Structure 1
Amino acid sequence: MKAILFVGHGSRLAEGNEEVTKFVEQLKPTLDKNLFVESCFLEFASPDIPQGIDTCVAKGATEIHVVPIILLQAGHSKIHIPGSIDAGKEKYPDVNIVYSRPLGIHEGIFKILKERLSETGFDVEGENNDTAILLIGRGGSDIDANSDFYKISRILWEQIHVLTVENAFMGVTYPNVDEGIERCIKLGAKKIIMLPYFLFTGILMERMQDMRVRYAADYPRVDIKLANYFGYHPILKTVLKDRIAESLQGEAKMNCDTCQYRLNAAEFVEHHHHHEHDHHDHEHDHVVGVHK
């Protein structure tokens, strides 16, 4: 018997956790009826990953596919989830536990981003040579996550006709949002759309709304809009189903058993992860993936 165990980031805000649970419930009927489907969380919410594995085994699963609902590969996907999987393998040596990869770079992601832009009145098909898109992530210190974020902005730029697509982060790394806005204006943008790359609603979105008001006052000649956050868009179901199919077919590309990042840096990452949460918990929006 095969089980799919979805892993959400987890939030101190109940609303964020309910979004994950509701999304998985909507996804269930579209999956193979012979699969057990469970969900769990990395942190801040229950059940956690070990409890999720326990539930799958208790229901009779002999093969568990752990599928992270995480935007990009970073510390969580490289260290924390594999650590829980290792513990599960030790506890249940007769159960095959397979790790799927995060959402990552997928055509569906760009469809969602373009829809979020359209909702602001932006013409996705037209020429927008006076417009800059500022793609905004939570921010983290993982090189892979940060560079993939830049790759996403480049692919988006290739697909729409705008002056520029710039990057900014809400914390941990640079450029910050102030710097991103300033760069857009220096490049000559008359219109700027702040495009959040977050899965969850929460404190950072509220903060970004306050930022937009401030920028509108500081730059009265520039039309500055804030798009809706990424969210659990229906197209995400397609992306996740692709990741599940990869995993079931043995094609998942997250090789964590021999990853040098994991083997050499686990202790450092664990320390840094907790240290970072100490400094940023008050603004933690659980932007899954672009996070250490």
Structure 2
Amino acid sequence: MEHITSVSTLLVGHGSRRAEAIAQFNRFVSEFATLTGQPAHSCFLELAEPDMASGLERAARETGDGGTVVVLPIFLGAANHEKNDVATAIQWARYHFPKVTFRYATPLGPHAKLIALLDLRIREAHQQALDASPLEESSVLVVGRGSSDPDSNSELARTAHLLFEKRPYRLVTYAFQAVARPTIEEALHYCAATGAHQILVSSYILFTGRVYEDIQTVSSQVAARLGLRVIHAMYLAPHPWLLEVAHQRWREAMDGTTAMSCDICKYRFPMAGYEDQVGEPQHTHHLHGGHGSHEHTRSPEHLEHAYREASSEV
């Protein structure tokens, strides 16, 4: 890692109206600062303060001219928020603070430790349940938030399959809480059609909040109609493995080894149903300090996407 005179890290969360969700995120930020030995601050895309503009400004002023701000998105995958909202906010910050270097880290997932943590949460819930059928007779439903980005959605399917590999579950499938399909109801109907009787519902969610609550509510209601037993696993945080993954992403950004695959990005290649978004400018509605846009390069020689660009020095 090259020598940096002053470093500050800005951890970006989605935001929530649930006070406990914000408290959990802020505890994570505090633990991350202790782990790295560097100042770390929080900001949110929406629903909570400080917003991205305020967070970026604070981090930039703290580190000063010639310093570095690492922007670390605490998200499980790279969807529209990462490719548009955060990337555009960084371009805004670079314009307003040209003497500060902004490095953009990749989201936490996909990562083997996250899959291991999913498995851990499922087994914890199974052990605590009364009269639960054995794992070998249990089906697992991994539920993610869902987005309009097909690349991001595909990561949940891959995560579900990797969870299934070499583990005892009779079946592992996946669903989305919103936006994408299969829905929770569709996935539970599929589980029932395979002969499942007990479903371990695994929320691929970092913290508590409305999404987690909705996954529990909907899965319980649908399962009751289908005559299925459901056991709910807890969301992922807190756990040291999450901090380790975040620290790895931070080191990658500091070392200049941040990597992001653009081979199946809807902004680079025509994907079914998203053909009109190829080359679409990056934009955000979450930057309260000022709106901006940044072109998704259309030419094939620039396939590194915003992550490679945003990870480089100014």
Q: TM-score range by the shorter chain?
A: 0.7 to 0.9
The one-letter amino acid of 2:104's match is Y
Structure 1: 5+ residue stretches without partners: 272-292
CA distance in 1: counterparts of 2:111 and 2:35, whole angstroms: 20
What is the CA–CA distance in structure 2 between the aligned matches of 1:159 and 1:49, rounded to whole Å? 41
| Residues 167-222 of structure 1 deviation map (CA, whole Å, 9 limit, x = unaligned) | 111111111111111111111223211111112212333333333443453344x4
The 8 Å contact of residues 65 and 100 in structure 1, kept in 2 or not, is answered as: yes
| Closer/same/farther in 2, CA of residues 177 and 48 from structure 1, 3 Å limit | same
The alignment partner of 1:103 has SS state of coil
1:7 Cα deviation (Å)? 0.7
Tell me which residue corresponds to 2:22. 17
Q: What displacement does 1:255 show?
A: 8.4
Go from structure 1 to structure 2 and tell me whether the alpha carbon gap of 1:212 and 1:60 turns closer, same or farther (over 3 Å shift). Answer: closer
1:192 to 175, 199, 221: 199
Any idea what the Cα deviations from partners look like across 1:7-59, whole Å, max 9, x if unmatched? 1111122222221111111221111x3x3322211122222222222212222
SS in 1 for 2:71: strand
Gap change, CA 1:120 and 1:60, over 3 Å in 2: closer
Partner of 1:161: 168
CA distance in 2, matches of 1:175, 1:260: 20
Of 103, 116, 119 in structure 2, the residue corresponding to residue 114 of structure 1 is 119
With normalisation by structure 1, the TM-score equals 0.82
Q: Is the 8 A contact 1:215 1:224 kept in 2?
A: no
Q: Quick one: distance in 2 between partners of 1:255 and 1:164?
A: 29
Give how far 1:3 is off.
Answer: 1.4
Match of 1:241 among 241, 244, 247: 247
Structure-2 change in CA distance of 1:3 and 1:164 (3 Å): same
Separation in structure 1 between the aligned mates of residue 237 and residue 35 of structure 2, nearest angstrom: 19
Q: Which residue of 2 aligns with 1:264?
A: 279
Correspondence 1:52 to 2:67? no
Secondary structure in 1 matching 2:257? coil
- Percent identical across equivalent pairs? 32
2:238 aligned to which of 232, 242, 260:
232
Structure 1 residues 20-99: aligned runs within 5 Å: 20-31=25-36, 33=37, 35-61=38-64, 62-99=67-104
Q: 1:142 to 1:20 in 2, by over 3 A?
A: same
Q: By how many angstroms is 1:87 displaced?
A: 0.7
1:76 and 1:217, CA in 2 relative to 1: closer, same or farther beyond 3 A?
closer
1:176 and 2:183 equivalent? yes
Q: How big is each residue's C-alpha offset from its partner over 1:114-134, in whole Å with a ceiling of 9 and x where there is no partner?
A: 1111112269xxx84422100
| Cα contact 2:150–2:266 (8 A) shared by 1 | no
TM-score, normalised relative to structure 2: 0.77
Say if 1:99 and 1:254, in contact at 8 Å, map to a contact too: no
Q: How many residues align?
A: 263
Query: Structure 2: any 5+ residue segments left out of the alignment?
Result: 1-5, 129-133, 269-277, 286-314
User: What does residue 285 of structure 1 align with?
Assistant: none
> How far off is 1:266 after superposition?
3.3
Amino acid at match of 1:178: E
Counterpart among 215, 223, 227 of residue 229 in structure 2: 223
User: Does the 8 Å CA contact 1:198/1:230 hold for their aligned counterparts?
Assistant: yes
